[in-house]
Amino acid sequence: MENSLENKIKVLYLDDEVINLMSFKAIFRQKFEVFITSDAKEAMKLIEENNIPIVISDQRMPDMLGTEFLENVFQKFPKTKRILLTAYSDTNDLVKAVNECKISKYLVKPWDAILLENILIELNDEYVFLENLLNKD
């Protein structure tokens, strides 16, 4: 049974490698409302315009590190769940991601589709729970 667009979890993926973006969209588009971009400024605009609760960012990109992008997301959209995705394991990146970007998850490429799907559902549940808690009268 296909989910209607309004019931799908919104997820944005920022990566400078188009093949990664296309793979992500191909795998997850039926279960999630997927937004993809290779541009950090466009990503921020998409989050704002579409109220996206979950953001995934690659770490190593030419214009901006994923940790820098996720730190900007945290400052502007603190409730948004943030995932750092990287092909490289760097302790300094991980420390910055946790301490400054307040990431929800740190994943290493190549990602496992089933694991990532479960993480996206879990993070969305957390986001919805907090939204409902904060919006109670």
Using pLDDT thresholds of 50, 70 and 90, give the confidence band for residue 1: very low
> What share of the chain has pLDDT > 70, as a percent?
86
Summarize the confidence of residues 79-94 as an average pLDDT.
81
Summarize the confidence of residues 10-23 as an average pLDDT.
96
5-10, long-range: CB < 8 A, 24+ apart: 5/33, 8/32, 8/33, 9/33, 9/53, 9/54, 9/120, 9/121, 9/124, 10/35, 10/50, 10/51, 10/52, 10/53, 10/54
Q: What is the domain-level CATH number for residue 55?
A: 3.40.50.2300
Summarize the confidence of residues 87-104 as an average pLDDT.
70
Structural domain range at position 107: 5-134
| Domain total in the chain | 1
- Residue 100 is predicted with a pLDDT of 66
